[in-house]
A and B are shown apart, each in its own frame.
Chain A
Amino acid sequence: MLKRVHFPSSPLPYLLVAPQIAITLVFFIWPASQAMYQSFLIEDAFGLSTEFVWFENYELLMEDKQYLDSFGRTIFFSAAVAFLSMSLALVLAGFADRVIRGAMVYRTLLIWPYAVAPVLAGALWVFMFNPTLGIISYALEFVGVNWNHYLNGEQAMALVIFAAAWKQIAYNFLFYLAAMQSIPRSVIEAAAIDGAGPMRRFITIVFPLIAPTTFFLLVINAVYAFFDTFGIVHAVTQGGPANATTILVYKVYNDGFVGLDLGGSAAQSVILMALVIGMTVVQFRFVERKVQY
């Protein structure tokens, strides 16, 4: 942690950490503690007086069917995004690992969605699935699907999942490819000599060996789906129709900035913080384990 050889104590190190610490205090720790404090308050309808109510906001949330639905929806959404983008990335990485000529070209062509902002990803998919004009909804009509995500909640959810998963394929692909390329060739060759075909080798050797990467990506994708997809939902559905795509991050924003329910929004923030902390702890424990072997 600290260098064996280091500089003696002086005021200098305080000056060096000062900018980072100042920003952390003013824009992170203070607002977070404010959120925690506000989550114990209830404001009356006119915003004239506030009352300290301990955990009443949380109790209200736990009884609020809309909130619990949103919770379940978020979990479904994250699982779907993680599964869809990780399985596609795994298949692509598996084949990319096989091709020798052109592997880098494929990588170049596959990584760019990473650079597209979530809200733009949402815009692209909304355009393709536009009920009157969209190219894919037009094609879907020929197979008898009437696409209108403005009216159909399930279709709206599917569209948000597609856009979110599409953007994440690039990231998952890069990590899977790197993991596969770090498997020693001798292991694969030994299995080949023993007569295992490519499919068998993938299932019994490659996939178990990259299990740590799968786990790591699962956490990263969950965090992504929970927190980074606000832009997609905001652009594609605004949480609708009838809250069918209101995931937790969107609800915090909507209740706080549109509904102006400060206490409820703050309580939701605190719950989300607890979730991030949980996920970060899982991620770090895993990283520590990986370092050991």
Chain B
Amino acid sequence: MIEQRPLLTAMSHIIMVLGVILVAFPIWITFVAATHDDIRMVQAPLPLLPGEHFFENLDKTLFGVGLSGTESAPVWLMLLNSLAMALMIAFGKIAISLLSAFAIVYFKFPFRMGFFWMIFITLMLPVEVRILPTFEVVASLGMLNSYWGLTVPLIASATATFMFRQVFLTVPDEMLESARIDGAGPMRFFFDILLPLSRTNIAALFVILFIYGWNQYLWPLLVTTETDMTTIVMSIKQMLEAAEQSPQWNIIMMTALLAMLPPIVVVIGMQKLFVQGLTETDK
């Protein structure tokens, strides 16, 4: 603290609290809506304080038949689909990026820079700008409605490759020299020295990529047509549409709550890794 200004400090706290309220208000409203029964949720004004039907709604949402008038997979199945998708994307991206960064940093081979630039280009081609042709490729490979179709097209990663390249470049040369003197081959060096050294970077990246994978929306929307393959994040849109006819907001908001809970838990629980991952990947 540079100077004593109790008034300004008090004001800072007030503004921060207002900021927190602004940011948390939508999530609070969601939570409140998920704790009332459907009768209370059609009477304006809607409640601002939680009710008593939380577990009832949770049970109905997780294992019920879904909203009346819609045909959808049970919510627990959609949660599992989302989890599988998020984990496959996160692990897939980390694995292939580690390998290619290792090759680019530690080997001298023809077309090395060509490969590097090819990976770099993926940064400039987000799914949103090439949806139709990518969809056609996946369809012609017969990968629609499968976990592979959901994840593989998304796991190429320039940012992750760059990050591991940065990490490997900071590993002292003596590590490799001494490993070679001890007779370690490339893969031995990779698994026994490089991987343990980049452990925290991998963890930080995992946090970011898990959120990225879990929150995918447009791509699953295109690739899955069978209800058994839908993810939880996707299902919200269908529910909002159904809400025009039968507004069961308690169930919809409970589903929304379940859909955002895992990534929020990851962000709050692994805050330090999350912040590290965020700042590392965007450099």
Interface residues, chain A, with chain B CB atoms under 8 Å away? 1-10, 12-14, 16-17, 19-21, 23-32, 34-35, 38, 88, 91-92, 95-96, 98-100, 102, 106-121, 123-128, 132-135, 138, 166, 169-171, 174-175, 178, 185, 188-189, 192, 198, 220, 227-228, 230-231, 234-235, 249, 252-253, 256-257, 262, 265-266, 269, 272-273, 276-277, 280, 287
Contacts and interface: CB of A to CB of B under 8 A. Distances in A.
Contact of B173 (A3, A38, A91, A175): A3
B271 A2 contact: no
B106 interface: yes
A105 B20 CA distance: 10
B96 A23 contact: yes
A273 B236 contact: no
B48 A135 contact: yes
A131 to B, nearest CB: 10
B176 A16 contact: no
22 contacts: A7-B108, A8-B108, A9-B108, A13-B103, A20-B97, A23-B155, A24-B118, A24-B156, A28-B156, A30-B137, A92-B16, A98-B8, A114-B267, A115-B263, A120-B256, A123-B236, A123-B252, A124-B26, A133-B44, A166-B26, A189-B2, A266-B133
A6 B168 CA distance: 12
Given A9-B108, A24-B156, A120-B260, A113 B23 contact: yes
B5 interface: yes
A166 B23 contact: yes
B199 interface: no
A103 to B, nearest CB: 9
A120 B134 contact: no
Contacts of A16: 99-100, 102-103, 107
- Band of interface residues on B: 35 or more
A32 B107 contact: no
Interface in B97-134: 97, 99-100, 102-110, 112, 115, 118-119, 121-126, 128-134
Contacts of B233: 117, 119-120
Interface of A is mostly: helix
A112 B156 contact: no
Contacts of A269: 129-133
A171 B247 CA distance: 33
Given A32-B130, A120-B215, 18 more contacts: A5-B173, A6-B106, A7-B106, A25-B118, A27-B152, A34-B133, A114-B278, A115-B215, A116-B260, A119-B236, A124-B30, A124-B256, A128-B26, A188-B2, A231-B217, A231-B218, A265-B132, A273-B125
In this complex, which of A24, A32, A99, A287 has the most chain B Cβ atoms within 10 angstroms of its Cβ?
A: A24
Nearest to A162: B26
Top 4 nearest A-B pairs (CB, nearest first) are: A31-B133, A117-B215, A115-B263, A16-B103
A17 B256 contact: no
